[in-house]
Structure 1
């Protein structure tokens, strides 16, 4: 059996050699852009607050079947925290870790689910996660028992206010 070695053209090799330093530089810049994120945790990135209440410009129903007043009330209430993911169609909001300025070594994360088209208290589920920094690492600790219900109450109050501002219209 005779094997034939196929030679690659020289221009392919020389092009790869020329691009290698550029690729290395690009990867180096990407790696350097990370850094310490702890100072960034207290500064909220509320880039979603300038959006309309819904994709259609303020209807009380979003296309995914969630209540727009609850959606906007949740965004308004959680605006002090950096928002990682917000899906208006699915009714899901996930915040990033937030460190209150007064609480050192403690951080919180919140998920909010809007579950229904109606403006009702059972159409909203809020979960709060809490971590404490001990011995050089973050560890999960349960939040106070009333934290989730307090945030839920604030979201519902804001949603009712938005509805009242809209003439108490549901459609």
Structure 2
């Protein structure tokens, strides 16, 4: 890596830390308003609010893969104790660096146990839509908390 590229990379990682004290020095002691929804400059490759919200939403399921640069979260099979004859597997893909409704996609697989064998079963479209809605609502809540804080 060339010296100038390395310097830009290191400044990109430390700029928020270096500039944070300067934010308090604005006129009248007010902090400047920033559009935190964009989240273009992060240490991950996708929108930080959507990423955090996705992890929070799927926290009850065992995770198999998390790729913050590619924006993919894959869970392992999850068996709900209330319905032990059914299991689900979920994949969340974050498609953009902006906090937008079309920036998150959820795919789910469902299997039912028939005579000791797991057999593929359909997933209701409402299930996938509900998961997407929960993630988006949580991401918006995280953004509001960051702006208010």
TM-score normalized by the length of structure 2? 0.70
| Pairing partner for 2:87 from 96, 100, 107 | 107
1:89 matched to 2:73: no
SS of 1:166's equivalent in the other structure is: helix
Larger Rg, first or second structure (1 or 2): 1
Is contact 2:45–2:68 with CA below 8 Å preserved after alignment? Answer: no
SS of 1:72's equivalent in the other structure is: helix
1:70 matched to 2:50: yes
Partner of 1:143: 123
1:134 matched to 2:123: no
Partner of 2:147: 167
SS of 2:125's equivalent in the other structure is: coil
Structure 1 alignment gaps of length 5 or more: 1-54
Shift of 1:64: 5.1
Shift of 1:125: 0.6
* Structure 1 residues 34-67: Cα deviation after superposition (integer angstroms, max 9, x where no partner): xxxxxxxxxxxxxxxxxxxxx989x834445310
Q: Which has the higher helix share?
A: 2
Structure 2 alignment gaps of length 5 or more: 1-12, 17-35
4+ runs of 1 displaced by more than 3 Å?
Answer: 59-65
